[in-house]
Amino acid sequence: MTIWILLAFFALVALLPLGVAVLRPKAARGRREADIALYRAQLLELDRDREAGRLDEAGHRAATIEVQRRLIAAADQAEAEATTARGPGMLLVVVPLIAAAGLGLYLLRGTPGMPSAPYTLRAEAMARDEQILATIRARIEALDPQNPQARQGWVLLGNAERARGRPQAAIEAWQRAIALRFDPSLAGDIAELQIERGAPAEAAPWITRALAEAPADPRLRFLAGMVAAEAGRPAEARERWQALLADTPADAPWRAMLESRLSALP
C-alpha cells in the first residue's frame, strides 16, 4: 500500500508546475500572439511578391509552407497557454484527475521492469540524424549554384536545422541560400533567429539589407524595432514602431500587439 501512496505523491509533485502556471496571474499579450500576427502578415506579403513576379511558384510554395508551419506552432502554443490560464477551482479538479488517470494508465499498460533507453541508443539515433543531414548537405553542395534546386535545398536544410533546435546551423544554411539569391524574407528569418539568440547586433545588418529591398514589409519593420529594443535603444524602437503603427490599418491583426509593445517600452 505504501508504494501506491508514494506513486500518487510523486505524480502530484510532477504536476506542481502546472499548478504554478494556473495560479499565476494572466499575462499580457505576449510573444506568441505577436508571432501569429506577424506570420499572417508575412503570408500576405508572400502572396504580393508572387503576384508582382518577385517570387516564383516553387519559392512561394516552400516559403508559404514554412510560414504556415510557424503560424500553426505559434497558434498551438497560444492555445495551450490560454487553456492553462484557468482559475484555482479548475486546478483543484484537473490536477488530481490527471494524476489519477496517469496512475490508472500505468497500472493497465505500464511495464515497471522495462529498463530505460540507454544513452547509447539515443546517441545512435542522433548520429543517424546527423549523417542524414550531412548527406543532404553534401548533395546540395554538389549541385550547380545556378540550379534553383541548390538554393531551395539550403532553405529547406535551414528549416530542418531550426526545427531541430539548432539556430546557428539554420543561420549558416540560410546564409548559403542568400549567397545564391538574396531574399528579404529569408534575411528576416536570420535576423529573427539572431534576436532569439540574444544577438541583436548580428541581426541588424540583415534587417538593414532586407529593408533596403522591402521597406514597407511590416514584419521587417517590426524586427527593426526589436533589434533596437534588445540592443538597449528604446527611443529608436519607439520611433520605428510608431512609424509602423501610423502605416498599420485599423483592422490589422497585429495592431494591438504593436500598441502593446510600444506601451511596454521604458
The Cα–Cα gap between 163 and 166 comes to 7
C-alpha cell at 36: 501569429
The Cα–Cα gap between 139 and 238 comes to 45
Backbone dihedral region of 132: left (phi > 0), alpha (psi from -120 to 50 degrees) or beta?
A: alpha
Does the pLDDT of residue 253 top 60, yes or no?
Answer: yes
Q: How do residues 167-224 score in pLDDT, each as one tens digit?
A: 999 999 999 999 999 999 999 999 999 999 999 999 999 999 999 999 999 999 999 9
Q: Are the C-beta atoms of residues 255 and 248 closer than 8 Å to each other?
A: yes
Does the pLDDT of residue 87 top 60, yes or no?
Answer: no
List the one residue out of 70, 50, 31, 59 whose CA is nearest residue 189. 70
The Cα–Cα gap between 248 and 166 comes to 34
Residue 94 pLDDT level (bands cut at 50, 70, 90): low
List the one residue out of 24, 7, 30 whose CA is nearest residue 91. 24
The Cα–Cα gap between 184 and 209 comes to 8
Give the CA radius of gyration of the chain: 23
Phi, psi of 262 (to 5 degrees): -65, -45
- The per-residue pLDDT for 27 is 43
Instruction: Find the range with the poorest average confidence among 42-56, 127-141, 227-241.
Output: 42-56
Q: Are the C-beta atoms of residues 207 and 191 closer than 8 Å to each other?
A: yes
Q: Are the C-beta atoms of residues 63 and 46 closer than 8 Å to each other?
A: yes
Does the pLDDT of residue 33 top 80, yes or no?
Answer: no
C-alpha cell at 54: 518577385
* pTM score of the predicted model: 0.56
The Cα–Cα gap between 54 and 60 comes to 10
Torsion of CA 235, 239, 242, 248, to 10 degrees: -140
Instruction: Find the range with the poorest average confidence among 56-60, 103-107, 138-142, 225-229.
Output: 103-107
The Cα–Cα gap between 134 and 169 comes to 12
Mean pLDDT over all residues of the chain?
A: 76
Higher per-residue pLDDT: 11 or 28: 11
Average pLDDT over residues 16-44: 56
Residues of the chain above pLDDT 70, percent? 55
Q: Are the C-beta atoms of residues 210 and 217 closer than 8 Å to each other?
A: yes
Average pLDDT over residues 12-29: 51
- The per-residue pLDDT for 144 is 86
For 125-178, CATH gives 1.25.40
